[in-house]
Structure formats: C-alpha cells, structure tokens
Structure 1
Amino acid sequence: MAKVKRAATQMACSWDIEAKIAHAEQLVRYTVA
C-alpha cells in the first residue's frame, strides 16, 4: 500500500487571486522541501 501525505493551510481572504495562488504555491514548496 502506498504512503500518502496530507497537509492543510489557512490563509486570509483576498481579492488578489494571483497573489493567493503564488503564496499557496510557496507554502507547498516550503512544506515538501
């Protein structure tokens, strides 16, 4: 059986969607590093 890793994050609401996506990507990259 394969191992599965999960994570969750919480961020403030904002209308700047591009910035939120970039920030989420940074968080994911930091977590897996």
Structure 2
Amino acid sequence: MFKLKICLNNTYITCFLGYLFRSQAVKSMSFQ
C-alpha cells in the first residue's frame, strides 16, 4: 500500500528505480 502511494505521487521511473533499490537492499541484507 505504501509503495502504491509513492508510485501515484511520483513518476513511474522514480517508482521503478525505488523498487530496484529496495529489492537490492533486501538481497544484501539477506546475504549478510
């Protein structure tokens, strides 16, 4: 729900970059 709000307020590119950054951060945390 929070991600959807950000997507609606920002451009799709910003939302997509934010999603990639979040997924990468989650992967890094899971590996450590």
TM range, smaller chain? 0.5 to 0.7
Instruction: Choose between structure 1 and 2 for higher RCO, CA contacts under 8 A separated by at least 6 residues.
Output: 2
Higher helix share: 2
Could you list the runs of 4 or more consecutive aligned residues of structure 1 that deviate by over 4 angstroms after TM superposition? Answer: none
Letter in structure 1 aligned against 2:23: V
Bigger CA radius of gyration: 1
Identity over aligned residues, as a percent?
0
Counterpart of 2:19 (choices 1, 4, 24) is 24
Give the number of equivalent residue pairs.
Answer: 25
Q: Unaligned stretches of 5+ in structure 2?
A: none
Give TM-score scaled by structure 2 length: 0.60
Aligned CA-pair RMSD:
2.0
